[in-house]
Structure 1
Amino acid sequence: MRLLLGLSCLLAACLAQKPHHCISPPLMSGELTVSTQNEKLFVFAKYLYDALGQKIRLMELVTYDNKTFTFDGLLLFREGIMYEIHYDNKTCKKLPLKADFHPMAIPKDASLLGQAILGSSSGPGQGLLVNTWTGELPENGEKYMSTFTEFGCIPVSSVVHTKDYGWMVSSLFNNIIGITNPNLLYPPSFCMDKELDIEEEPVDFHSFFQKMR
């Protein structure tokens, strides 16, 4: 009985703690979707995220202006390079990347909007405790609202108001901590000898991960 009472008090103390700014695990993989208010863009993607090596791999199915195509990109932020990979004909483009790496995290200046349980609090395992934060991106003043889990600091969703698309909604799911196939964070063999296309405009990368900060 004392043990049960002690566990109950511990749980109550955890739930009573004020949500805090946090940083997501440095190695993650999973799936995500992105959709926009004006219905011009919809993305389904598998992702790999490596904050230690500052690498992101996105394997996407994209619908834009009623046209559907695939995109497979490896972004190497330290090197300032993006590989656009085409496994169907074993070709790739090596492009300059114009972006700084930002770890997935709750910005220090974000304001807590509230805490909620996704699902149900009626029984064990029926709900997920999350915190929702709001603020403005410093580079352009775009308003955002991001939701992370209370335990583990796993990103759940992000809503950003953009000039071109209106509200852009991103959702992450099937997330795991770690990367099951690290080889996907390196260029395939047929890309290794590819020269950097310096005539191309640098890729100005603004992915979901750039918004979750």
Structure 2
Amino acid sequence: MLKIILVCVVGLTCVYAPEPPPRCVAPAYFQAQVNMHDHETNFFRAGFFSYDALGEKVHFLEYLQENATRPQATELFLYREKKHYRIDLKTGICNVSALDLEFRPIAVREDSRLLGDDVIGTLDEPGEGVLISVWGHHVDDSRAQGNMTVSFTRDDCIPFTESFYGMSKTSKQELHYHRTFFDVTLGLSDPNIFDVPKACMK
């Protein structure tokens, strides 16, 4: 049940309003199907996403598509080790490169503001829908400047969408991408998912 707070405005009647949801952090370990779309290049990727916030690790296995116009790959991001492993799914060749990006936890940042709530499905019947909270914050770091919008389930902080619109500070090009999570499950089905692939040890 939502907590209720009393809102009073001078000269007006006091009304009750739901308390804004607290800023939240996504589960430390989860996996999900994910769709990613770069609106500027019209580049679309779909795959299986594994996330470890405590170890600062991300694994992405891209789903093969018959009409793909770019090489498809499985990728491992080890942020603490500053390593990026990428295996071409067609050739099996592994490319290892330095990872100079800072790990960004999937979470509602402290400087985010609540943009509103939305409902996926319906709340009229138990188990038929879920309440989503939408948050926004400004991004200004060494790589890009712009606005990020994220959404999470209100009760469990399960990630649903991420959307960024802004500009790259290096290329000066516009950036606009969208990522959607679905079929999210807590924990990891494969405890070795973040091990360095054998193809990358040669």
Q: TM range, normalised to the smaller chain?
A: 0.7 to 0.9
Q: 1:32 to 1:133 in 2, by over 3 A?
A: same
1:182 aligns with 2:191: yes
Separation in 2, partners of 1:67, 1:87: 13
Where structure 2 has 5 or more consecutive residues not aligned to the other structure, the ranges are 5-16, 168-172
Q: Which protein has the bigger strand share?
A: 2
1:13 aligns with 2:3: yes
Q: Deviations over 1:90-116 (max 9, x none)?
A: 542221111111211111101100122
SS in 1 for 2:199: helix
The residue correspondences of 1:46-195 to structure 2 (distance < 5 A) are 46-61=48-63, 67-86=69-88, 90-139=92-141, 140-163=144-167, 164=173, 166-192=175-201, 194=202
Separation in 2, partners of 1:20, 1:83: 36
- Match of residue 10 from structure 2: none
Number of residue pairs the alignment of both structures matches: 181
- Give 1:165 shift: 5.5
> TM-score scaled to structure 1, two decimals?
0.76
Q: Is the 8 A contact 1:37 1:165 kept in 2?
A: no
Q: Deviations over 1:117-154 (max 9, x none)?
A: 21112111111011001121131331121111111111
- Give 1:166 shift: 5.0
Separation in 1, partners of 2:107, 2:2: 26
Structure 1 letter corresponding to 2:188: I
Where structure 1 has 5 or more consecutive residues not aligned to the other structure, the ranges are 1-10, 195-213
Separation in 2, partners of 1:100, 1:39: 24
- Give 1:12 shift: 4.5
Q: Structure 1 residues 159-168 or 93-102, which shifts more? A: 159-168
SS in 2 for 1:105: coil
Larger relative contact order (C-alpha < 8 A, sep ≥ 6)? 1
Q: 1:113 to 1:71 in 2, by over 3 A?
A: same
Percentage of pairs with the same residue: 25
Q: Is the 8 A contact 1:61 1:69 kept in 2?
A: no
Separation in 2, partners of 1:37, 1:102: 22
Q: Structure 1 residues 35-44 or 84-93, which shifts more? A: 84-93
Divergent runs of 4+, >6 A: none
> TM-score scaled to structure 2, two decimals?
0.80
Provide the aligned C-alpha RMSD in A: 2.3
